[in-house]
Amino acid sequence: AAGVIQSPRHLIKEKRETATLKCYPIPRHDTVYWYQQGPGQDPQFLISFYEKMQSDKGSIPDRFSAQQFSDYHSELNMSSLELGDSALYFCASRDTGVDYGYTFGSGTRLTVV
């Protein structure tokens, strides 16, 4: 079965650089969520999209932006990177018709040096 695809798997950037993380949800899933998991921490919700429109916003810094495109893939853009942005970034997609139907991608591990 198709899963949620995230790219890249690993990314190393320097401070003040920009990064773009990509997420390809499961076909026919109508909602995408982005989460940030710092070292030794639980995942924190950043932002979500429903049918390509932003639906909810969590603790996402102003330096970050995200969008969902016509083919339903989503991108998280991160600018002016800081050391504290080093984390595992998860994308999850969901069919809102299924209460438990959240599927996580394998994550992108971002290291800012």
Partner 1 sequence: AQKITQTQPGMFVQEKEAVTLDCTYDTSDQSYGLFWYKQPSSGEMIFLIYQGSYDEQNATEGRYSLNFQKARKSANLVISASQLGDSAMYFCAMRSRNAGNMLTFGGGTRLMVKP
Q: Residue 83: what are its φ and ψ, rounded to 5°?
A: -55, -35
Question: Pattern of binders to partner 1 over 62-81, x per CB under 8 A?
Answer: --------------------
Contact 21, 31 (CB under 8 A): no
The reply on whether position 25 binds partner 1 by CB under 8 A is no
Contacts of the segment 15-18: beta carbons below 8 A, 24+ positions apart: 15/81, 15/82, 15/83, 15/112, 15/113, 16/80, 16/81, 17/81, 17/112, 18/77, 18/78, 18/79, 18/80, 18/81
Which of these segments, 19-27, 66-74, 77-85, 105-113, binds partner 1 (CB under 8 A)?
105-113
Q: Which is nearer to partner 1, 44 or 79 (CB)?
A: 44
Contact segment (CB under 8 A) with partner 1 among 20-28, 59-67, 70-78, 89-97 equals 89-97
Determine the interface stretch with partner 1 among 17-25, 59-67, 75-83, 94-102 (rule: CB under 8 A): 94-102
Among 5, 11, 60, 88, interactor with partner 1 by CB under 8 A: 88
Angle at 73 between CA 63 and CA 29, to 5 degrees: 120
Residue ranges binding partner 1 (CB under 8 A): 31, 33, 35, 41-45, 48, 55-56, 58, 88, 90, 92, 94, 96, 99-100, 102-104, 106-107, 109
